[in-house]
Amino acid sequence: MIKELLFFAVIFFTNVIQCITGFAGTVLAMPFSVLLIGFDAARPILNALGLAASVYVVIACFRHIDKKELGKMTGVMLVGMAAGLWLKRFFTGNPSLLYKTLGVLVLVFAVMNAVKFYTHREEKALPAPVSAALLITAGVVHGLFVCGGPLLVTYAGGRLREKDTFRGTLSAVWILLNGVIFITDLVGGAFPPATVRLSLFSLIALAAALAVGHFIAKKLSRGVFLQITYVLMAISGISLLIK
């Protein structure tokens, strides 16, 4: 019971940060969630929450979606995601490999985004081969851990300049990709009664987080929360490596 309450707290806190910073909610929540409730429950629940949050954003930003980029990102990432879903079988029965792989990925994301933040590097559109490789890798990571967001943000940063276009287009990508994973999870039996119950309570935590996050975003600096995010990502990655 205590672990479940802590899990709801993780969902609330990470989605407050997601609402303020615009990214990293799932990446930040996944390591702590895996440690609290296990990978088999955490992955489908966080995917479903990501799907719900994305629907919320798309409704608000629908007119600003870049349909050309949406088609490109979704098409390429689907190829990588299929590979990620196939690779997932190699982690079955080997939680140590699972935790350490996820821990390394989260640490890489933390360092990558922290360097970009502190160097104030101008975001530019990447060359086509690099963009394709980045999107495929994002798809693979998303298929494995539903954590492809930081890589997709890296791709989209130099292409989608307007805030609402960025949020709306990326959220539309997650609706399509997370929708595929959600259906796969339903068919594959990833939602037994206990996971369904956790999912429903998690939706309450998510709704509260969105409300609080929007309020805080108007009062405090986004930069402060970005720095908190990178520190927490690093801590969560290390915690998985030493588990």
Q: How many domains does the chain have?
A: 1
pLDDT at site 204: 96
pLDDT at site 25: 81
Beta strands in 57-201 (DSSP E): none
Can you give the residue range of the structural domain that contains 17?
A: 2-241
Residue 4, pLDDT > 90, answer yes
Q: What is the mean pLDDT of the chain?
A: 88
Residue 167, pLDDT > 70, answer yes
Task: Name which residue leads in pLDDT, 75 or 90.
Answer: 75
Percent of the chain clearing pLDDT 70 (strictly above): 97
Residue 207, pLDDT > 90, answer yes
Q: How far apart are CA 137 and CA 80, in angstroms?
A: 6
- According to DSSP, residue 221 is labeled -
Q: Give per-residue pLDDT as tens, 104-152.
A: 988 888 888 788 888 876 667 778 888 999 999 999 999 999 988 888 8
Q: How far is CA 192 from CA 32, 185, 197, 218, in A?
A: 21, 10, 9, 39
Q: Are 206 and 11 in contact (CB under 8 A)?
A: yes
Q: Give per-residue pLDDT as tens, 7-56.
A: 999 999 988 888 877 667 888 899 899 989 999 999 999 999 999 988 88
Q: How far apart are CA 30 and CA 38, in angstroms?
A: 10
pLDDT at site 111: 87
Q: Which of 73-77, 210-214, 221-225 has the lowest average pLDDT?
A: 221-225
pLDDT at site 230: 81
